[in-house]
Structure 1
Amino acid sequence: MNDEFSSEPEVPLLCASRISVVYNLKKIPERGEPDDKYEEYDPLSTVEAVADAIAAFGFDVSLCEQDDGFHRRILDQAPDLVANIAEGRGNGRAREAQVPCFLESMSIPFWGSDGLSMAVALDKLLTSRTLGSEGIPVPFSRSFREAGELSALPALFDLHSRYIVKPRYEGSSKGVFSDSVADSPKEAEEKIRRIWRRYGQPALVEEYLPGEEITVGVTGNGHPSVAGMMRISPVKAGEVFLYSLEEKRNYLEKIRYDGPETIPPALRDQLGRLALAAFRILELMDMARLDFRLDGDGIPRIIDVNPLPGLSPLYSDLPILHRLSGGDYRGLIGTILGSALRRYGMTFQTVPAGRTAS
């Protein structure tokens, strides 16, 4: 496990005491809007869990929603560091960069990756191209923006027999449904048009990988380390499995999570090396979750990179895989927090586990 509090930094330290948690609060979609419109946003229970875990280390914690009053409120709070879990407003492909870019412009330190890495990682096509150019295994994919490009579909099915169709820049499995797999150009076109109508963005047609799905957590900076990994599989096996929106919403009944001890050691080592390499290539910071699927030859390929992973202690993949790998929620938040503080040359007096800050 990565423990960012365990070693002394080699730079002069600034004392940190105030931390603001910046977030987007989950809302109920309006009539006529997709029911997953706010799927990436956090319920208050997650925001409070993050805040409570940070406060347990002795910090003075404030909450700050990214809404119309965000800019004024965060300046009034004057935090030493921001714990950013905000996904951004609107549906643009750079929305996850909104909060980091503002904080950078105001010289306010924050945990997590900067705006550039956030924007690239949200765009699945750019992420795949970047990693593929560096020799990281990724599935074949193509983006479709408009009807004139649909004539290319038959040629794609000469390359691979099955594809998954999903939005090009969404997270939390938005737009990935149990029926998002296409076995013909006709099916692919129907699902592409659904993405256009529902999300108003390009559709990504990606080679379907038939093997197991494994997700890996990474924390740290200059010397990042694997925070854990887990295998994700359906409770009821079938010919096709997608870790889709429906499965995530009903994970207790539909999904089985197995810890790293169930993954063969050689594959475990390979996954760790690839995850750390991708983390460095994309120049991520403090935390990320990297999702893999095995292809027909058993080669792990990266299907998604999330530098802003969910932090619900109950249902988010990063806390679950960390727990299955022997960690706990307080330790995970502490590692992420410590990584960011060290990066900015900050320190603080920690409160030992089991004690309450006075």
Structure 2
Amino acid sequence: CINKKGVIGLELEEAGFDVTSLNVDYNLFAVFKIYGVIKKFNPDIVHTSLFYANLFGRIAAKMAGVRVILCEEQNICGWKSRNLFFIIADRVLSLVTDRIIACSESVKKFTMGQENIGSSKFAVVYNAFDRDKFDIELPAAPDIKISMGFKATDRIIGTIGRLCEQKGHVYLIEAMAKVVVENAGARLLIVGEGPLKSRLANMAGNAGISDKVIFMEKRRDVPAFLKMLDVFVLPSLWEGLSVVLLEAMYMAKPIVATGIPSNAEAMIDGQTGVLAKKADAGSLAEGINFLLRNSEASKTLGDGAKKRVLEYFTPEKRACELTNMYDLLADEKKIHIKKCG
């Protein structure tokens, strides 16, 4: 970790993995700290993920003479697209990168176009979810609703994500104002923090649905939260490949998601959920109301979602594809991979 270990770093340590935190700011000094770690452990392969790790890590790995270098791209659009330096840096560093791993076909296509990098540098390895967190015994959905202060019969719509422009909450709140016309007892739970929280709360108030929209802080009990939902909604305007969408699919939830490219890779409209138009409150509301009024269709779509996520987006499949890629690149460089233990 360039900076702090964070929640994921601590979870990895609890699972028995060694995690090194450099505790440095995101500046070029980090390159020399990473270089020191690489020289200490002398790895055959360096695999980085997310922008600053990709930037500093690849420079340090090249300086240290690492023979196989991979990086991951996890999103499209966003802040990097507005900074020419970052785009140029990625373009130059692609010359010393053996493989750029995109978490979806849409991320691959976007990155190729934005940074003018040929397709031969890329491989698509889909994101996966932590199945162990979800393979646990949970109370029945009505009991979870009651434990969270709702009635067992309340229709609960939920979403999870940072409260920012990308996640499209503005359109979900507008949609909720339409949903309650047909489903007066529905509640919308929005889990997450972010800069738009006050604006979203004001929107709900202005629409007269403050009592229908509940904001909740980031939760550790995501499996229980998802299980109690009658409908999960992902109203994002863009995504790389949403992990929470995969989690909701694994929980066999009826899902309404915007039909952006990565969501359309994960879901099949009418078979594993409902794909709504992007930035369209009416389309979101139509999908939500359809699922709320059609319990049999909701069950069928939820079952289809779980079947699809188990076929394409499991941690075992991702680990296998990454391992095969490591072996392939090592063979190309005639490297004998050092085994752990």
TM-score (normalised: structure 2):
0.33
Rg comparison, structure with higher value: 2
- Give 1 or 2: higher helix fraction: 2
- Give 1 or 2: higher strand fraction: 1
TM-score (normalised: structure 1):
0.32
- The one of the two structures with greater contact order (alpha-carbon pairs below 8 A, sep at least 6) is 1
